[in-house]
Amino acid sequence: MNKSDLPFLTASELSKLMAAKEISPVEVTEAYLERIEALDGKFRSYLTVTADAALEAAKRAEQEIAQGNHRGPMHGVPVAVKDQIYTQGTVTTGGSPVFKDFIPTFDATVIANLKAAGAVLLGKLNMTEFATSGLSHQFDPPRNPWDLERSTGGSSSGSGAATAAFLCATALGEDTGGSVRFPASWCGLAGLRPTWGRVSRYGVMPGVRSMDTIGPLGRTVEDCAITLAAIAGYDPKDRLTSDEPVPDYQAALTGGINGLKVGIVRELVYTDLVEEEVRKSVLDAAAKMKELGAQVDELSIPLAANAGAISAAIRVEAPVTYQDLVRNRLRDIGHDNRISYLVGTIMPASYYYKGLRLRSLIRDQVLAALGGVDLLLSPTTGVAAQLLAPDPVIDSKAAGGRIPWLLSTTFSLANVPALSVPCGFTASGLPIGLQIAGRPFDESTVLRAGHVYEQETDWHTRRPDV
């Protein structure tokens, strides 16, 4: 196989070939670095490329595999991570020039876990500022590989662009209200928000701390499964992580979905937030699952219609986190964050308290729905990728009057796992995402259902012309 063809293999395919010693981690890493050098000037997905360290890690992986010391599915696989995640000795900006000179003295736990799994870190990925903005960037915004004039979605924007443009095998993003699933949907990828507490956040710059969750983006569900397995688990450095056992997610992909009970969430499908061609693709996907043996019915989660407002009340945690910047360096914060942070600082405490109470109620409604079904279905976003705007002050305006990530916020508030997988394309050739949510810590069923649907359709096999 030509070295230049290696980046077009999935992470899972690369993993198997490296384990069999048919290809080398070094040649795979070189292929990615050459591709980044040649193409990322137009995609703007990376803020920092760690080429020398990546090649050293690839050489170690090559030697270990040659000596029979294969660490597992991520050994030798080139990955990249959102620049919200601390990396020892490497600049970590959080998407803001405020931190352009910040160099952490330790690795975040997810980075330490990736290194322990033998993964090769290619670099740090672009993102919206502090991960609290959906579309606007302080650095040059990443371009969507399906249309360079369009957004990748945020806040893990570089994670979406790099993975879709074949500039890394898998990526880590961070999902607060939908920041992994949003770019996955707009870039034609699989992206998973794990259960809150499944993955450590030690060494991760906070956005909205009570909702922030690290998750993978990949070109297939299996790629997400092997990446999640490498980073998940209890961490004594993050007291909010769970000690729930971490299963073998890759092994759990086997089997069908015959007999699974699946609920289509009416409030997230039959709403003017969802364009008709998106709705049709999602309902077609539900019909496909029924054809594959699932029992599919519609159901109601009443407060899902208000998830955006509930989330907005809770997002005042962000200006509290960055209160020193709000007080002393307000002009250094991007325009959209500046406005939302100022509004957050004057929001009455009673609103925040009411938001927390409503969050508890929406979680109860989601869990009650999951008491009767195994999975919940909805669109990931109501619209396909929107045109880039110079300064999308009001994200809903940039999205044609819609706030596209409100559909993902319901499951963020409920702290349940949710996966986005491609389920179609618009008439103009832009990807559409299907959202599959499940019970807390049941990522295995969510991933299995996504994998079965993915393998029975060809949406994930289509490539942007890059």
Q: 193, 195, 194, 251: which is closest to 226 by C-alpha?
A: 251
Q: How many CA atoms lie within 13 A of 328 on its CB side?
A: 5
Distances (CA, A) of 227 to 169, 172, 274, 320: 10, 8, 30, 32
CA–CA distance, 208 with 381 (Å, rounded to integer): 20
CA–CA distance, 307 with 117 (Å, rounded to integer): 37
Q: Is the peptide bond before 155 cis (omega within 30 degrees of 0)?
A: yes
CA-based diameter of the chain, in Å? Answer: 62
Structure tokens at 301: 């989660």
424: three-class secondary structure by DSSP: strand
The answer to whether the beta carbons of residues 78 and 54 sit under 8 Å apart is yes
The phi, psi pair for 368, rounded to 5°, reads -65, -40
Any alpha helices (H) in 271-316, and if so which ranges?
Answer: 276-291, 307-314
Q: How far apart are the first and last CA of the chain?
A: 20
DSSP 401: T
Residues that are catalytic: 82, 155, 179
Q: Cα-Cα-Cα-Cα dihedral of 407, 442, 243, 238, to 10°? A: -20
CA–CA distance, 49 with 427 (Å, rounded to integer): 36
Structure tokens at 102: 């910040």
45: three-class secondary structure by DSSP: coil
How many residues are recorded in the chain? 466
